[in-house]
A and B are shown apart, each in its own frame.
Chain A
Amino acid sequence: MKYTLSLLILCIACTLHDRDSRPVSAVPAAGSGTTDSAAAAQAAKDSSKPVPLSTDEQLAWRKRLPLPARCPEYDPDPSDPDSFGARVLVLREKQTVVDARCMLGTYQPSHLVFLWDGSAAKALSFPIYQTKSPARTPTRREVGELWGLTEFDASSKQLKVFNKFRQTGDCGWWALYSFPEGAVKIDEFHLKADCDGTDPMNPQHWPSVAIQ
């Protein structure tokens, strides 16, 4: 609670500053628009949810990132809480993880994730496990673009990713990443390769993959 209140005070202070002169590695600002205030209030109740950025702040973050041309322009829709262009997770001073949406996709978007040190953005890659059939042992590889539904946990400083193999969400993988010293570390990885129609809402309890 104390942390949340501090965040809100800092955020209010941030909105009073000139945006261009504001240090971007600072604590993310609360939404300044009326449509964001409900989300900000909700986030304030739940310390695990980062305070959402206003659409202007999201646009400003995207301008700072080396997003490739294939990522469409962010078209803000303040009425839709599922629409976002950028989210941030402040790790510590001069270390902010930025999740920028790239393609909207069919039923799950893609994301490019960067580490911002206050002056430059470094693209992060993420280890995942994959298998071509449920019977095979998953193999590890690195991906630079995350497809799926992402969510920051502000209290644990982690990123949750749910990648659905099909839209119904009964198969896919669910992963939890942390960022010690700004590097990507995989904390949990759950994989269900069998699209059998069961357990679509509980991916964090799917079979766990032993992290190598």
Chain B
Amino acid sequence: MRYTENIKRLVRKSYLKNLHVPAGAEMDERILGDALTAMEDSKKARPALVRPNFGRTIMKKKIIKLATAAVIIVAVVLSVSILSNSTSTVWAIEDTAEALDQFDAVYVYGVAAPSLEALEQGFDKEIIGALLKDRTMPIEVEFWARANEERTQSGNIRIETSDGLVGTADDTKTYIYEPNSNTVYVQQGCHIMIEPWLSGDFLLKLKEFTEDWQVTYGKDSAKGKDLAFITCTAPSLSHSMWIAIDLETNLPVRYKIWHNTKRKGIPAYDMQRIIFFEELPDERFQLQIPEGAKVVEY
């Protein structure tokens, strides 16, 4: 990992940055001049095509259902000791926004307690019944996800719980394997997702959207890393959050969400380990149907 990062940095900073390229008004004039001439010639050849045609604009609105195990990302408790302002490094939101935009995939481990309301928004009632039967919340969960092309939400996701439940989802279908009944539930559409995606743009909007945004500093006593801690509240959603940022990588490493504005009680999502990847292989998001499992489609 370190080697890869070093080579990438070398390519960016020492190779691409120093790469000599032609420049000058003469070059711009030649290229733009020829391109503009080509554009005019094409316009003459297809005059009808360059008139505005607003009537043909079709706006597609994607209806997104929120699912439970999904709204997430992040966080936790481990051994973090807050030593207020004990580090000399000052965190800047722009650095984390930039760092987040380098990655398209994420692995998250933690504890989650999705609400029934959230489940009901995503799944068929019979599936919810099967999911909640003999299962207590909160539950240990880990998931792998990669962003959709627009980086607005996850495009593929795989979720696994400590008691063997496995779910995968993409744009078209959601699969959930429930081990107690040895059943695979298949539902049309995407019902497990991370939305919004943890992009730089999202972080910047989060700061604008939330209230009481505060940053403190401390150390992860287990790993000795300097961290910045963000706390904020979203009163309109009755949510509050806590995010830990590693000051070396500028990436979030832990995250908690409470379904109240005071950060009181057990968080609904207490995500304790977050690892970002540039990409994850397709196989990670495919569900292998266990032998003998019943498949029920909705």
A binds B: no
